[in-house]
């Protein structure tokens, strides 16, 4: 056994004097990974297996007028209270893959491949994380869309504009479908963002998907165990879901709130993308009162990954308590 | 364009009558994965890259007398308040890999390969998740141990009892080393758990590692940017760390608390594995007052993965607020 500096240092007496860092031999620097883990997470709801598959994040500044009815100082105070940085707002995107045992169901599709390029990989991660989670897009049986905003529908297409889930039935809320496909609504929409949304939806659903969609109604199962629930305001046909199997139950809220900090803690604050902000707020308070009272787990599309948690009342708002990550399932 | 049932359903009129589920063709059931994502997570502290690498979890029942000074009803009330199941307590294990650019440093090593077998994979996941995160155990330069409990040291060895990090210097708290290697302390230790810990530590450090360790002192850097801090009580030499680089700073708390629910929310509760429970409680309150006041981020070995968060005072205790998962780094 070679007598090394390490052996000499094992005696307690030698410790105090040891210049721990100086005497170490230089080793080759290990390269930093500089890449996050593939962001997917699985859990069971009864017999159903859910995989949360992150689409990444997007960061806004206050110049984006993210919140229309709160002052900059109020928003910064709420961010600081949540230990979040001032002057910016980060939101997350979390489509789901639901394996019912009989059907492989995707719920919402993320920002899509163009956003991936534009954001330098911060958003539009869904397709990559889907593959990392072991799913083949060709094996998806159904794609269920909650509403027709870009971060939910743009992942329906690949970079070359063809269907990203070529063998899937695409299910859309009937009311949402009617709104965005209505030429009168389109002609009356304000220029800018709303006109852009109409054009984007026509491009996806009309030009690319040739209107091959199945509209669905609220109050009915759209897939085994997945009940569609009306939660309008954010959009005219905005839909949430109750996913249940056996004694397991999760409320899949879609965009009832955006990031719970600050939109659950301040349910009266209106985000610029709530199309009818007053109705959206009423829906938000109604749903959050319900999930808090029933202690129902909530899966939030814009919550920080993996986006599963419980809701409790806190003052005039609500606190979302993330479910602990289970290293097994 | 083929006229299919899907096209027939695109009209809003057809929707209400559509038996959505009944008419779908049966597809081959997609197999459920039944396996969690590899549980690792990266973040930066200045120029330093941290990878949290989960070792899994362990679940105790109240028959294990996990908390020595609280009644079963009080504990269940605290668990329910945190939306956790009654009558059981789950704790998590999160060793770290710290890449300083110059050194690859592992902090604590998890429950080891025997625990992996005994727990059927629930614990002892560190080696697997380390590989999933892209690390080669042979490339690790230093292994820093916070204290000598089995869930921190047993991962020092492989299943065949050889060093798991064959090229690494093993750094241990000088006070901890002195305690567990002292024959008088060993002879005076109560039979059962404490005797078992002594034997386990002698097996690892004496028989397997041949005492090739470097004891370190509190108040000094044990690796670049990693300052050792005295936080005794849990064990005689229990050590935490301040990791800092540039303006980035994280308090690596080791076992100052176990799972924050219920041990941060109830800092006066004593876990059976706190060797000097009164001192451990004093340390816990001192450190949590400090990190709450300084708004210092905390990395907790027993927090739910990925174990990074902020601490705020809440009534007579503390609330840990998990940092949002960053899908990029």
Please compute the mean of the pLDDT values over residues B287-308 and round it to a whole number.
98
Residue A1 in domain: no
Q: What is the CATH number of the domain that holds A115?
A: 3.60.15.10
Please compute the mean of the pLDDT values over residues B222-246 and round it to a whole number.
98
Minimal-distance CA residue of chain B relative to A1: B210
- The β-bridge partners of B250 are B243, B297
Residue B8 in domain: no
Q: Do B12 and A327 touch (CB under 8 A)?
A: no
Interface of B with A in 137-156 (CB under 8 A): 139, 141
Q: Do B18 and A103 touch (CB under 8 A)?
A: no
Residues of B in Cβ contact (< 8 Å) with A49: 32-34
Residue B106 in domain: yes
Q: Do A32 and B328 touch (CB under 8 A)?
A: no
Residue B13: its pLDDT value, please? 36
Q: Do B15 and A222 touch (CB under 8 A)?
A: no
Question: Closest partner residue to B327 among A92, A104, A133, by Cβ?
Answer: A92
Residues of chain B with pLDDT > 90: what percent? Answer: 87
Residue B9: its pLDDT value, please? 34
Please compute the mean of the pLDDT values over residues B189-196 and round it to a whole number.
95
Angle at A266 between CA A262 and CA A267, to 5 degrees: 115
Q: Do A38 and B37 touch (CB under 8 A)?
A: yes
Measured in angstroms, the CA of B191 and the nearest CA of chain A are apart by 27
Average pLDDT, whole number, for chain A? 91
pLDDT at A9 over 90: no
Q: Do A328 and B122 touch (CB under 8 A)?
A: yes
pLDDT at B29 over 80: no
Please give the full DSSP string across A251-315, using - where no structure is assigned: EEEETSSSSHHHHTTSTT--BTT-TTHHHHHHHHHHHHHHHHHHT-EEEETTSSTT-EEEEEEET
Question: How far apart (Å, rounded) are the C-alpha atoms in residues B46 and B250?
Answer: 10
Dihedral (CA of B327, B104, B140, A12) sign? negative
Question: How far apart (Å, rounded) are the C-alpha atoms in residues A57 and A91?
Answer: 6
Residue A263: its pLDDT value, please? 97
Q: Do B42 and A35 touch (CB under 8 A)?
A: yes
Interface of B with A in 8-67 (CB under 8 A): 9-10, 12, 15-16, 18, 20-21, 24, 26-27, 29-30, 32-42, 49, 51, 54, 56-57
Q: Would an 8 Å CB–CB cutoff place A114 in contact with chain B?
A: no
Length of chain A: 329
Question: How far apart (Å, rounded) are the C-alpha atoms in residues A103 and A90?
Answer: 33
Angle at A62 between CA A59 and CA A67, to 5 degrees: 95
Which structural domain, as residue segments, surrounds residue A271? 37-322
Q: Do B49 and A34 touch (CB under 8 A)?
A: yes
Minimal-distance CA residue of chain B relative to A48: B32
Measured in angstroms, the CA of B194 and the nearest CA of chain A are apart by 23
Angle at B94 between CA B92 and CA B95, to 5 degrees: 150
Question: How far apart (Å, rounded) are the C-alpha atoms in residues A146 and A107?
Answer: 7
Give how far Cα B51 sits from Cα of A195, A249, B100, B327, B329, Å.
Answer: 44, 33, 11, 13, 11
Question: Closest partner residue to B15 among A1, A83, A215, by Cβ?
Answer: A215
B101, exposed or middle or buried, with CB in 10 Å at 0-12, 13-18, 19+?
middle
Per DSSP, the three-state class of A120 is: coil
For the segment A165-202, what is each residue's pLDDT rounded down to a tens digit?
Answer: 999 999 999 999 999 999 999 999 999 999 999 999 99
Task: Please name the residues in contact with A9: beta carbons below 8 A apart, sequence gap of 6 or more.
Answer: A15, A18, B214, B215
Cβ atoms of B113 and B95 within 8 Å: the answer is no
Per DSSP, the three-state class of B112 is: helix
ipTM: 0.90
For the segment B254-268, what is each residue's pLDDT rounded down to a tens digit?
Answer: 999 999 999 999 999
Residue B16: its pLDDT value, please? 38
Residues of chain A with pLDDT > 70: what percent? Answer: 91
Query: Residue B18 — very low, low, confident or very high, per pLDDT cuts 50/70/90?
Result: very low
Q: Do B326 and A57 touch (CB under 8 A)?
A: yes
Question: How far apart (Å, rounded) are the C-alpha atoms in residues B206 and A62?
Answer: 59
Query: Which of A31-40, A54-63, B136-145 tops mean pLDDT?
Result: B136-145
Length of chain B: 329
Measured in angstroms, the CA of A81 and the nearest CA of chain B are apart by 9
Ramachandran bin of B188, using left for φ above 0, alpha for ψ from -120 to 50, beta for the remaining angles:
alpha
Residue A32: its pLDDT value, please? 83
Task: Please name the residues in contact with B240: beta carbons below 8 A apart, sequence gap of 6 or more.
Answer: B146, B228, B229, B231, B251, B252, B253, B254, B256, B287
Across the beta sheet with A297-300, what order do the strands follow? A221-223, A226-230, A239-245, A248-254, A297-300, A308-314, A317-322
Q: Give me the residue label for tokens 């009168």.
A: A184
Task: Please name the residues in contact with A216: beta carbons below 8 A apart, sequence gap of 6 or more.
Answer: A144, A171, A172, A173, A174, A222, A228, B15, B20
Residue A62: its pLDDT value, please? 77
Cβ atoms of B234 and B292 within 8 Å: the answer is no
Per DSSP, the three-state class of A155 is: helix
Nearest CA among B320, B269, B301 for reference residue B66: B269
Residue B10 in domain: no
pLDDT at B94 over 70: yes
Cβ atoms of B238 and B285 within 8 Å: the answer is no
Question: How far apart (Å, rounded) are the C-alpha atoms in residues A11 and A248?
Answer: 57
Residue B34: its pLDDT value, please? 84
Residue A29: its pLDDT value, please? 57
Minimal-distance CA residue of chain B relative to A104: B30
Nearest CA among B135, B149, B133, B141 for reference residue B166: B141
Measured in angstroms, the CA of A240 and the nearest CA of chain B are apart by 18
Question: Closest partner residue to B211 among A10, A125, A169, by Cβ?
Answer: A10
Domain count of the fold of chain B? 1
Task: Please name the residues in contact with A316: beta carbons below 8 A apart, sequence gap of 6 or more.
Answer: A267, A268
A-to-B residue pairs, Cβ atoms closer than 8 angstroms: 207
Q: Do A20 and B216 touch (CB under 8 A)?
A: yes
Per DSSP, the three-state class of B305 is: coil
Please compute the mean of the pLDDT values over residues A39-48 and round it to a whole number.
97
Phi, psi (deg, nearest 5) at residue B201: -70, -35
Average pLDDT, whole number, for chain B? 91
Residue A4 in domain: no
Question: How far apart (Å, rounded) are the C-alpha atoms in residues A143 and B118?
Answer: 41
Residue B59: its pLDDT value, please? 94
pLDDT at B282 over 70: yes
Q: Do B323 and A83 touch (CB under 8 A)?
A: yes
Measured in angstroms, the CA of A71 and the nearest CA of chain B are apart by 24
Q: Is this prediction's pTM over 0.95?
A: no
A247, exposed or middle or buried, with CB in 10 Å at 0-12, 13-18, 19+?
exposed
Q: Would an 8 Å CB–CB cutoff place A102 in contact with chain B?
A: yes
Interface of B with A in 169-208 (CB under 8 A): 169, 171, 174, 177-178
Question: Closest partner residue to A304 among B102, B141, B325, by Cβ?
Answer: B325
Q: Do A328 and B36 touch (CB under 8 A)?
A: yes
Residue B281: its pLDDT value, please? 98
The span from the first CA to the last CA of chain B, in angstroms, equals 46
Question: How far apart (Å, rounded) are the C-alpha atoms in residues A163 and B292?
Answer: 50
Residue A2 in domain: no
Residue B145 in domain: yes
For the segment A121-166, what is each residue's pLDDT rounded down to a tens digit?
Answer: 999 999 999 999 999 999 999 999 999 999 999 999 999 999 999 9
The secondary structure of residue B306, as a DSSP letter, is T
Residue B14 in domain: no
Mutation for testing the A interface, residue in B1, B4, B11, B20 having most A CBs under 10 Å: B20
Residues of A in Cβ contact (< 8 Å) with B125: 327
Give how far Cα B97 sits from Cα of A169, B46, B162, Å.
Answer: 44, 15, 20
- What are the DSSP E strand ranges found in chain A? 40-45, 48-53, 56-61, 88-93, 96-99, 104-107, 142-144, 169-173, 213-216, 221-223, 226-230, 239-245, 248-254, 297-300, 308-314, 317-322
Q: Would an 8 Å CB–CB cutoff place B83 in contact with chain A?
A: yes
Residue A175: its pLDDT value, please? 98
For the segment B34-87, what is each residue's pLDDT rounded down to a tens digit?
Answer: 899 999 999 999 999 999 999 999 999 877 778 999 999 999 999 999 999 999
């Amino acid at each position: 056994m070679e007598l090394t500096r390490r052996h000499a240092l094992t005696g307690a007496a030698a410790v105090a004097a040891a210049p721990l860092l100086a005497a170490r031999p230089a080793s080759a620097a290990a390269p930093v990974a500089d890449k996050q883990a593939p962001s997917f997470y699985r859990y069971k709801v009864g017999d159903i297996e859910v995989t949360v598959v992150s689409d990444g994040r997007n960061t806004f500044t206050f110049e984006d007028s993210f919140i229309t009815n709160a002052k900059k100082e109020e928003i910064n105070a709420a961010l600081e209270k949540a230990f979040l940085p001032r002057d910016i707002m980060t939101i997350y995107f979390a489509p789901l893959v639901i394996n019912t045992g009989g059907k492989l169901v995707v719920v919402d599709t993320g920002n899509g491949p163009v956003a991936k390029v534009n954001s330098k990989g911060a958003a539009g991660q869904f397709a990559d994380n889907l593959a990392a989670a072991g799913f083949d897009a060709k094996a998806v049986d159904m794609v269920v869309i909650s509403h027709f905003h870009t971060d939910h529908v743009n992942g329906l297409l690949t970079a070359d504009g063809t269907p990203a889930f070529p063998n899937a039935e695409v299910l859309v809320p009937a009311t949402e479908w009617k709104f965005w496909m209505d030429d009168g609504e389109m002609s009356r929409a304000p220029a800018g963002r709303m006109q852009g949304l109409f054009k984007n939806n026509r491009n996806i659903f009309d030009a690319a998907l040739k209107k091959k969609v199945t509209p669905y109604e609220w109050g009915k199962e759209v897939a085994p165990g997945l009940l569609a629930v009306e939660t309008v305001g954010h959009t005219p046909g905005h839909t949430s879901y109750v996913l249940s199997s056996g004694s397991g139950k999760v409320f899949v809220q879609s965009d009832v709130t955006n990031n719970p900090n600050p939109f659950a803690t301040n349910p009266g604050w209106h985000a610029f993308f709530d199309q009818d902000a007053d109705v959206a707020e009423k829906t938000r308070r109604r749903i959050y009162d319900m999930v808090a009272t029933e202690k129902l787990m909530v899966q939030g599309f814009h919550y920080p990954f993996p986006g599963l948690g419980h809701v409790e009342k806190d003052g005039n708002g609500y606190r979302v308590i993330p479910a602990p990550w289970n290293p097994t399932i």
